[in-house]
A and B are shown apart, each in its own frame.
Chain A
Amino acid sequence: MEPLSWGQIIGQMFIQFTPVWIALVVLFTASIIYKRKLGLYGKLFDSPIGMIGFGIVMFWVFTAIFSNLIITHDPLVQVSGMKNKVPGTPVPEGTAGFEYYLLGGDNLARDVFSRMVAGSRIVVQIAPFATLFAFMVGITLGLPAGYFGGRLDTFLSFLANLILAFPVILLFYLLVTPEIVATGLPTYMAGVLFLFPIIFLVVLWNSRYFTQPQKRNVFVAITLLLGGWVYLGTAWGADPTGFFNMQSNILIVFVSVVFVNSPTVFRIVRGLALDIQTRDYVAAAQTRGEGPWYIMLWEILPNARGPLIVDFCLRIGYTTILLGTLGFFGLGLEPESPDWGTTINAGRRLLSIFPHPALAPALALMSLVLGLNLLADGLREESLKD
């Protein structure tokens, strides 16, 4: 069979992504029709930059969701004779899957296109959740530091600056090694860091409904039960039903990314809390006799949401970059894992002869982070218009 030309390759890739295009069209039509009723999300569709960014981000999210429909070959299977083949090379007769390697083969004769698509799944699974956890940690510690000030603030700020003064890569090299995993340190760190979302939610419910003990007890009980279940499963691998569990190498990557991100979030939240607590509505709440946690979580936090949402988008992008860095240095994830950083690392050795195995994941990572940055920019513009 003849190798495919570049036009045919692009056409075929377009066809492979059909489920993503359908999902994107449905999402955008629905959002644009109802945009006046959707608050800040709806306003995003007034800004072309925000719309482009959101489109790129959702493209990768849908790619991750439908990755099993999109891939043309198993991302881990090697087809003999396809080593380092250029894009559009036909696979030998009788091989399972599509007749061509759309973006060529890598140095172990696996399909670059399928690995890139499968890699999106790992990134889209880890990056938002890790960022969310970092935000929980940062908010739970940053609000009291900014609101109470004093010794607590000095101590927590010192800790945050301590972690920030570490070069990220050195920290990764110290934390994400098989030897450190053997000491159980990441599990303990997960044990501490994963507690914060539960603490956050419990304090949130308690401060809001402490005048209605019945309602509060229900919310707190549900949070503790569900949160405790997930917590046991993810941090300690001790879920009795076995529904929630995390592979140890994913856990360590997750924990170290949360650990690196949370001091920055802490500083942002602390700064916002310092600024907002001088406002009149905070003074009004204080005069009303509200407790400090109510003021922090239900007066200050909602009013800080604009900058926090923008930073959340930017930070997912930064987390994606960090995940790629880990993969680039071969830390954490297994060497055959299809995530983008690991694939770039595998492809860079033969970069000057066969650039395509490293180029595909590199462009994918760049487009996702670019999308997130554009989305953040659009959100910032729209939230400033109020």
Chain B
Amino acid sequence: MGLFILRRVGVMILTALCLTFIVFYLTNLYPNLEKLAKTQGNMRMTDAQVESWLGDRGYLEPIPVKYGQWLGVLPGFTHTDEDGKVTGRCIRTGVEAADAPTFCGILQGDWGYSTVFKDEVGTIVSKRLALTGKLMFWVMVLMVPSALIIGVLAGMREGSKLDRTLSTFSIASTATPEYVSGVILIAVFASSAFGLKWFKGTATAAMDNATFENFFLPVVTIALYGVGYIARMTRASMTEVMTAQYIRTARLKGVSFPNIVMKHALRNALIAPFTVIMLQFPWLLNGVVIVETLFNYKGFGWTLVQAAGNNDIELLLGCSVVAVFVVLVTQLISDIGYVYLNPRIRVS
């Protein structure tokens, strides 16, 4: 088991390195840098000015060198202008060049500086992640129990009317992406055209003060898309368990139906959905980006869109590290958890 985890962690680190390098490469292509120079400096810069602007800030070094600097394995870029003033990657405003550290990459805990928000990437990402964490917590609270209940109810009597109804509902919910369900929910519950106006169509206020009124719609929108999928998996696993020999034995012994479901079937039926729920996290990340953009909730997903739209290289890298980390760690946890929950599987 220890070796298994160790190997998985090794693959994880390799994957993370490859992925960040791809992001780094794509954001550092010259047209992207030119756009960055023009938005940060001056829209009317000539090509020569763009080149010198980029050169002074170390953007024109070879990509592997820049990647090494970002990682913190190569010394940070420095530049001395005509007056002898030293500027560089590791030298922040208000810090003397001599006092600045030589290395400043993520290995040193320095995530860089966001060109859009004019702030440290580390602080931005942690602040935004906390907001998204709040959203995700409520999504999980709503999504997991309702999905499991729907799945178990549908799966305990396969082919019954209840099963048909709930299965159709799950199919419908997986067929509705967040930007569709969000639009429909806002139109019905928050617009003046339908006149219900039960909830708010934006969740900006929920960042500081989340209430049922301004936070319910975004949570439901994300949860809806996931509910169907988890419910279908639970149903499949429940129907399989319900046809097992020991359930028939229990029935022939005369155990009541609620008792069979609760005591005999449920625990075995919940092993498969566990993996699915863990693997839903990366999916939820997509939903979070869409919903935060739609409801203008300035969390992690919203930041990712802002960073990508403005080619804010270091913030985008920070966001992708977090995103990739979430994906890989959930994969690892789901593998390990699966082994623990199901004693029939042994990792060799």
Contact = CB atoms under 8 A, between A and B. Distances in A.
A344 B183 CA distance: 8
A246 to B, nearest CB: 21
B106 interface: no
B73 interface: no
Interface of A: 86, 158, 161-162, 165-170, 173-175, 177, 179-180, 182-183, 185, 317, 321, 324-325, 328-329, 341, 344, 347-348, 351-356, 358-359, 362-363, 365-366, 369-370, 372-374, 377
A46 B193 CA distance: 42
Given A165-B327, A167-B289, A373-B171, A355 B177 contact: no
A341 B34 CA distance: 29
B192 A162 contact: no
Contacts of B186: 351-352, 355
B193 A369 contact: no
A170 B175 contact: no
A356 B193 CA distance: 9
Chain B, interface residues (CB within 8 Å), range: 35 or more
Which of B32, B176, B183, B192 gathers most chain A CB within 10 Å? B183
Nearest to A340: B180
B293 interface: yes
Contact of B179 (A158, A162, A344, A359): A344
Which of A170, A173, A177 gathers most chain B CB within 10 Å? A170
A355 B286 contact: no
Contacts of B26: 174-175, 180, 185
A170 B323 contact: yes
Nearest to B322: A167
B285 interface: yes
12 contacts: A166-B324, A167-B327, A173-B304, A173-B308, A321-B177, A325-B290, A328-B293, A351-B191, A351-B201, A352-B191, A370-B172, A373-B175
Contacts of B30: 183
Rank and list the top 9 A-B pairs by shortest CB-CB distance, nearest first. A355-B187, A173-B308, A179-B31, A370-B175, A369-B175, A352-B201, A362-B180, A182-B31, A321-B177
The A interface, classified by DSSP as helix, strand, loop or mixed, is helix
Nearest to A377: B171
Interface in B314-338: 316, 319-320, 323-324, 327-328
Given A174-B308, A179-B29, A355 B171 contact: no
A173 B309 contact: yes
Contacts of A358: 183, 187
A329 B305 contact: yes
A167 B326 CA distance: 10
B190 interface: yes
